[in-house]
Amino acid sequence: MGESITDGTLAAFLKKPGDRVEIDEPIAQVETDKVTIDVASPEAGIIREFIAKEGDTVEPGTKVAIILKSAEGAAAPPKKAPEEAVSQPPPVAEKEKRKDETAPVIEKPKPASPPPQPSRTSPSEPQLPPKDRERRVPMTRLRKRVATRLKDSQNTFALLTTFNEVDMTNLMKLRSEYKDAFLEKHGVKLGLMSGFVKAAVSGLQNQPIINAVIDGDDIIYRDYIDISIAVGTPKGLVVPVIRNAEKMNFAEIEKEINSLAKKAVNGTISIDEMAGGSFTISNGGVYGSLLSTPIINPPQSAILGMHSIVSRPMVVGGNIVPRPMMYIALTYDHRLIDGREAVFFLRRIKDVVEDPRRLLLDI
């Protein structure tokens, strides 16, 4: 499972007793705090029975199934079930029939009692929906882990959020003009996220305190920039990491983002690919979010929130013109980062995105 995982929940069996399995074929899935891991069969054969049950907490080395290397005995478990089904149900069915015969006599008076209840409720009391219209579903381990980490973030950090807005005209024009040539040379589409990653790298280099973290009474400054990208999946939020983003160009960033995003959605991303990270970017704009206050991903010290692009009237050169605008938000740990550094960082994001040529000239 990996050194950081000590146990998991047996989420589901992918096979049934009596099914044929091959070596390394997945037979079950274990859900951990971070990822869902396939349990592969070590041998080829027939599944005789499952020892563990779905929902059980299992540790590395726990036996979950018995596999017969030969087909002999595979039919044994099914034979027992029919015998028990034939011998046991008749008396149970007879008892149920006898109960049903007497049940109507006892239950008939009961319907007369509910009518008085509505009269007891006063007009001020809320009318709650019946329980049969509610569903109770256990939280997944991933969702519980996310909930714990986010609550710990609120309890530990002195969270403060500052905002700015970005004119996306030039970055969108750059993408429009070079998207075909970029795709032809690098084999990947040019998106907006790589521009924001490069802008974040530039901002973190200018304001290294935002890339740092508090450790006890010390401040740890990082001489590397690992950008975490928040990705929403059907099973919950995961945050894969782009390693050493300061050494990557636009094409390398786009390729890494696409690769990690596909793995995250398919559930094949590894724990190592989500470990660490010194700064997080969350793009709520893909879902249509106009503005939000993102929560820091512990143990990092800040997170950048991107939002949807909306055409708004802006004053440019004394004239009111429509511009594609995006609100950006930086939530930071005020224990470590002052408002001055946070505002300068966000201004650097704004300057680089609005004029990407600054990256070439390093100004």
Q: Would you please indicate which residues are annotated as catalytic (active-site) residues?
A: 334, 338
Distance spanning both ends of the chain, measured CA to CA: 46
Residue 210: name the closest of 361, 355, 348, 350 by CA.
348
- Long-range contacts from 264-267, C-beta under 8 angstroms, 24+ separation: 264/231, 264/233, 264/238, 264/240, 265/231, 265/233, 265/234, 267/35, 267/36, 267/233, 267/235
Residue 353: name the closest of 163, 167, 162 by CA.
167
Residue 9: name the closest of 191, 156, 142, 203 by CA.
142
| Both structure tokens of 242 | 């782009």
Tokens 């907490």 found at: 57
Distance CA 132, CA 41 (A): 40
Distance CA 269, CA 3 (A): 16
DSSP string, 23-77: TT-EEEEEE-SS-EEEEE-SS-EEEEEESS-TT-EE-TT---EEEESSSTTTTHH
